Amino acid sequence: MPLTETGKLVGRADETAMIEALVSDARRGRAAALVVRGEAGIGKSALLEHAAANADGMRLLRGSAVESEAELPFAGLHLLLGPVGDSIDRLPAPHAGVLRSALGTGSGESGSRFSVGVAVLTLLAELSKESPVLALVDDAHWLDCPTKEALVFAARRLGTERVALLFAAREPDAPPFPTRDIDQLHLDGLGTEAAEALLRTHAADLPRHLADQVVAEAMGNPLALLELSSALLRGGGRPEPDALAPLPAPDRVTKTFAARIRSLPERARTVLLVAAADGTCDTGRVLAAARLLGADITDLRLAEDAGLLGFTQTCLWFRHPLVRTAAYHDALLQDRIAAHRALAQVLDQPDDADRRAWHLAAASTGPDEEIAAELERSAEHARARGGYSAVVVAYERAAALTPRRAERGRRLLAASRAATDAGQPQRACELARQATAQLTEPTQKAKAAMIHATLADDQDQPVESRRVLRLAADEVATSAPELASELLFWAVGAAWSAGESATVAAIADHAETLRLPGTDRIRALATAAAGDLGGATLALRWLLDGPSVLKGCVDQALALRSRTRSAGWHVLLGDHETAHEQAAELVGRIHADSADGVLPRALAVLAEAHLHLGRHREALNSAQQGMRLAEDIGQRHSVTLFAGVLARLAAIEGDEAAATAHAAETRAERAAAALGLLELGLGRHDTALDRLAALADDTDPLHAVTTFPDLVEAAVRARQPQRAAEASKLFTRWAQLSDATWALAVSLRCRALLGEDEDRLFSEAVELHRQSQDHPFERARTELVYGEYLRRARHRTRARRLLRSALSGFERLGARPWAERARTELRATGERLTRPAHDSNGTERLTPQELRIVLLAADGLSNRDIGEQLFLSPRTVGYHLYKAYPKLGVSSRRELGKLGLAS
């Protein structure tokens, strides 16, 4: 967008002020990112130029994406970071290796979609130590997916770095550029006065009646104002054909450019077409390909003289992206094919293999195995660099060019796997469906079914998952019976998740009818899903003691998911320590393997284990981190799991608004459990009983059993002893089978609440809690009800000791309604309370991010290690620790150990 004589952008005072403030904030260590959106020609690039003009003293990084490179992995990142490539050596080895691999400048290990983003973030942070950094990305809608993911990931986590990131993205009529949690600036057209002022500055000779017509037709689009007025002036005051046609402003400008291109000699048009198809600024490459089509540098100069592009010996550029669009899309199909073939022919160096493959693909008009094979090699090259999104596109295009059905299916399956890694679940599901229709080999068909099913499960569509698995099992039952058995085993799990108790049994019956191997595993899982509580508990124990899968039946890519499922089973059996150990080990393994798709599930098990073990801060940390990742990846099922943990945490704390909000995001049974506990803590016993009784009646026993103690207490206080007795009996049976000390203690508490030898049972329960030293919430609850019993029996001294311990435990956990209940009981014993029973360590004054960092620092992790886990730069980690220390009353990392925060 041109300037007025004063050097200001016409009609953009508010927008330029926003840009200037963003740049100024970055200089002061308040990092920011902004996406400027609007139609073509509206002034997005001009605002980026304005930012660059105000970047004195800053390191300026610039890049402009192009359509022809939208499928090349990390092409945009290479353009943006290429000038600072030598700074990569200053990064920690893991980050440097991932970034070199992504940029194709070294042999470092490939990274996940997250690890590349962390490496970019770390590089920007490192650069900002020397001077503030301003990174500008124009036409961001054409960025290749791996670059887009890495830059958006970094932009959302800049924290306190001296960095500003600005993107310009066209909308509509362009690929989407999703940027959740990044500020947006939507540019509208100029007002009439500003449009007239701009026109007076740049087309003062235009007659008034034509100027008024241009202002009306341009609809505030600055580029349209300039190009349409220029067209009228070139035509001597007569409109060129289509110059003022009734089309959107960008389309009218594109037509104007197309008309100017058509007026050139054929060979000049050829040069423009080759340059548009190439997408780089390499003058030598464009001329080499153009010479194969009969054009040369003289024709390039004609295009320059026409004001359509500029060039030097090494680099050429289009005057505006719409010139490139017009040059390419207005050309005949056969001419576009010829341009791509010529470019493929001159791209004969090993480093050019990816671009050559894509030009050959663009030039193809039908199936071609040779080109498909080149695209497959390009896909694997992209995978080695961590460009999972580019792998998807390359394999999908290779499949489209593959003549043989089986090979086409194999490549579609590879595309589906890559889409899973790239966090594109819907696309991965569709590709898996397509692959299934093409594949004939049983193992390959099973892999496609497993991908489709696990993705459906991740999106909280267990019925679809079960359907796909059962169909696939039937297809391979004769040719691959072990494989069919494993598919049906997973199908039972999906049906269990869907709450289809009748279907669970039917699948097990079907496996036995087919005489498949391993039907004992299928039957055991069906019993765990739909059997009585005792049988379900024993069945799940048997499964955990046996092999997790039949040998050779499940692809190794599913091994981590299978182990995560097993860790979750330990939660159902009340063995929360084992669940915690396994989940923590899995999270480390998943980080090492860059298996991002499994990470939310593992974090969900970890959060659940933390919650039951009374490590509420850690549970909050895992749940919040996991929920953000699950939302990024699109795993709806994991989101519901984290929401369930957050709902129960809020319920324990008595935060009714938060508990209700989180309950709305989780599954019905988890919502009922959390809200039932909330009502119980707030003393609304009848409402609590209604929620918890419905949960016990409608949910399979293993998922409901840990809420039975809540049901017992609610029923006792609501004077429903029969309901309380039923729940107590079931929980006691489960506790005996689980043999978990905490569960045995709670079962004694339940029996005592029913009036069965209260003093002895309560006393034994408290002693068991003290032996296990875990589940502090349950221990405090037992001490509370025992203290209440003793106070009513007039044993005030004994009651006070228990009630003090209960109050301390509740306050430590932030369980406010329960603490208030214990405080009330203590006062009733005659004790005067002048201060909180528990001295706070100050963590309640921390922000959630500060708390996460402090907990990891207390465990001995370095700033760099913490940044790896939380996807932050080491500098940002250090800033948060600096802010947290005064709130905790410490001055160094070493003093954190005194607060007892380590897990």
Q: Which range scores top for mean pLDDT: 21-35, 302-316, 434-448?
A: 21-35
What number is the average pLDDT over the span 870-877?
A: 76
pLDDT at 418: 83
Looking at residues 150-156, what average pLDDT do you find?
91
Q: What is the mean pLDDT of residues 500-527?
A: 95
Q: What is the pLDDT of residue 374?
A: 93
The whole-angstrom separation of Cα 631 and Cα 755 is 48
Most confidently modeled range among 217-226, 373-382, 835-844: 373-382
The string of pLDDT tens digits covering residues 629-659 is 888 888 999 999 999 999 999 999 999 999 9
pLDDT of residue 490 exceeding 70: yes
The reported pTM is 0.74
Residue 417 vs residues 86, 129, 514: alpha-carbon distances, Å: 34, 39, 30
Q: What is the DSSP secondary-structure string of 337-406? A: HHHHHHHHHH--SGGGHHHHHHHHHHH--S--HHHHHHHHHHHHHHHHTT-HHHHHHHHHHHHHT--SHH
Q: How many CB atoms lie within 10 A of CB 900?
A: 8
Please state the rounded mean pLDDT for residues 133-151: 92
Residue 899 amino acid letter: L
Q: Quick check: 33 and 156 in contact, CB under 8 A? A: yes
SS3 466: helix
Q: Read out DSSP for 114-131?
A: HHHHHHHHHHHHHHHTTS
Across the range 240-268, mean pLDDT stands at 73
Over 80: is that where the pLDDT of 884 sits? yes
Predicted confidence (pLDDT) at residue 131 exceeds the cutoff of 60: yes
Judge whether residue 683 has pLDDT over 90. Answer: yes
458 φ, ψ (degrees, to nearest 5) = -60, -30
Q: What is the pLDDT of residue 245?
A: 45
Give me the pLDDT at residue 111, please: 60
Maximum mean pLDDT: which of 101-115, 355-369, 704-718:
704-718
Q: pLDDT value at position 311?
A: 85
Is the N-terminal amide bond of 848 cis, ω within 30° of 0?
no
pLDDT surpasses 60 at 235: no
Cα–Cα distance measured from residue 831 to residue 825, given in angstroms and rounded to the nearest whole number: 9
What band does 466 get if pLDDT is binned at 50, 70 and 90? very high
Q: What percent of the chain has pLDDT over 70?
A: 92
Determine the pLDDT at residue 109. 58
Q: Which residue is it, tokens 């029969």?
A: 722
Amino acid in position 427: R
Among positive and negative, which fits the CA dihedral 35, 39, 40, 45? negative
Say what percent of the chain tops pLDDT 90: 55
Q: Is the pLDDT of residue 813 over 80?
A: yes
With 50 as the cut, is the pLDDT of residue 244 above it?
no
- Residue that is written with structure tokens 């389309």 in the block: 251
More confident residue, 439 or 1: 439
Task: Indicate whether 246 pLDDT > 80.
Answer: no
β-pair partners for 135: 61, 165
Rounded to the nearest angstrom, the gap between the alpha carbon of residue 609 and the centroid of all alpha carbons in its chain is 23
Q: How confident is the model over 478-496, as a mean pLDDT?
A: 93
What pLDDT shows up at residue 836?
Answer: 52
In total, the chain counts a number of residues equal to: 903
pLDDT of amino acid 593: 65
pLDDT of residue 502: 92
State the pLDDT confidence band at 113, using cuts at 50, 70 and 90: low
Q: Determine which helix (DSSP H) or strand (DSSP E) holds 183, and give its type and residue range.
A: strand 183-186
Closest CA to 858 of 838, 879, 884: 884
265-291, pLDDT tens digit by residue? 999 999 999 999 987 778 999 999 999
Most confident of the ranges 483-487, 786-790, 865-869? 786-790
Q: What is the pLDDT of residue 551?
A: 47
For residue 105, how many other CB atoms are within 10 A of its CB? 14
CA distance 237 to 206: 7
Q: Give 522-569 pLDDT, tens digit per residue.
A: 999 999 999 899 999 999 999 998 765 544 445 555 788 889 999 999
pLDDT at residue 844 is higher than 80: no
Q: Report the candidate in 785, 821, 805 with the shortest Cα–Cα distance to residue 681.
A: 821
Query: 106 pLDDT band (50/70/90 cuts)?
Result: low
Quickly tell me which residue has 């000038």 as its tokens: 83
Name beta bridge partners: 882.
Answer: none
User: Tell me, what's the pLDDT at 550?
Assistant: 46
**How far, in Å, CA of 421 to CA of 419, rounded?**
5
Please state, as a whole number, how many other Cβ atoms lie within 10 Å of the Cβ of residue 191: 12
Max mean pLDDT among 411-420, 650-659, 844-853 falls in 650-659
Given strand 59-64, what is the order of strands in its sheet? 59-64, 133-138, 163-170, 32-38, 183-186
Is residue 317 packed enough to be buried (19+ CB in 10 Å), middle (13-18) or exposed (0-12)?
A: middle
- Phi, psi (degrees; rounded to nearest 5) at 62: -135, 145
Question: What is the pLDDT averaged over residues 126-142?
Answer: 94
Average per-residue pLDDT in the chain?
Answer: 87
What pLDDT is recorded for position 6? 45
pLDDT at 238 over 50: no
Identify whether the C-beta of residue 196 lies closer than 8 Å to the C-beta of residue 211. yes
Tell me the C-alpha distance between 538 and 674, whole Å. Answer: 27
CA dist 567 and 20 (Å) reads 51
State both tokens at 871.
């996807």
- Give the DSSP H/E element, type plus range, for residue 136: strand 133-138
Token code pair at residue 705 = 């059993």
Element (H, E) at 311: strand 309-311
Range among 41-50, 72-81, 777-786 with highest mean pLDDT value:
777-786
In this predicted structure, what is the pLDDT of residue 481? 92
Question: Quick one: pLDDT at residue 887?
Answer: 82
Look at residue 710 and tell me whether its pLDDT is greater than 50. yes
Give the C-alpha distances (Å, rounded to integers) separating 725 from 249, 721, 730, 738, 783.
75, 6, 9, 20, 21
Query: What value does the CA radius of gyration of the chain take, rounded to a whole number of Å?
Result: 33
